[in-house]
Structure 1
């Protein structure tokens, strides 16, 4: 999947009502997950929440974990670890890309 294909997954365009229909969760549950800092919807100028397809996937994952008895604090720790790993992976990719570009340009232009 390319980054262009991936972009629609993260575009926050869905209102909470649509997310409720897709997930089977209530607005109250979704807002609770937001309060617990498990999900981060975008807010419109009028304060309405907007969600992405990746948010819907996250909400389903959170709901399943909650059903299994996992506490929100544990879910938040897992989310934070995942974000740190993703951030670290991006840094590594950028470093490698920079090294390859430097090597290619050095060899190509000399």
Structure 2
């Protein structure tokens, strides 16, 4: 994950800032949370904190509802986007593990995989 993506996923924005950015009411934002369309983090004082990704999602929800979509459709679209993001995250993690193992092998810290030794 790039630094830009990491920064966009940091939950640092309070509700008041999100209200100003999205032109939604606090009640609407909390309702979207109960509908499992957005998942804000909580700070030590149990106050909601939103990321820039959450703000983007809220704007997408607002646009979708304005165009006539219902909550069931919005949930399906949100779940599909989350599944794609999770799949990318898993493959990112797998790629990092493979690269780490190869680097350790090249540095002599780990023996070659048995299938590779047959070809040497």
The yes-or-no answer on 1:52 pairing with 2:51 is yes
Structural mapping, 1:11-50, within 5 Å: 11-50=10-49
- When the two structures are superposed, what TM-score results if normalisation uses the length of structure 2? 0.75
Between 74-83 and 62-71, the greater mean CA deviation after superposition: 74-83
Distance 2:7 2:91 in 1: 24
Unmatched 5+ stretches in structure 1: none
Distance 2:47 2:100 in 1: 43
Distance 2:46 2:102 in 1: 49
Q: How many corresponding residue pairs?
A: 109
Higher helix share: 1
Distance 1:43 1:69 in 2: 31
Residue 94 of structure 2 aligns with which residue? 95
Q: Of the two, which has the highest radius of gyration? A: 2
Distance 1:44 1:100 in 2: 35
Query: What's the C-alpha RMSD, in Å, of the aligned pairs?
Result: 2.1
Unmatched 5+ stretches in structure 2: 113-120
Q: Alpha carbons of 1:97 and 1:60: their partners in 2 closer, same or farther (altered >3 Å)?
A: same
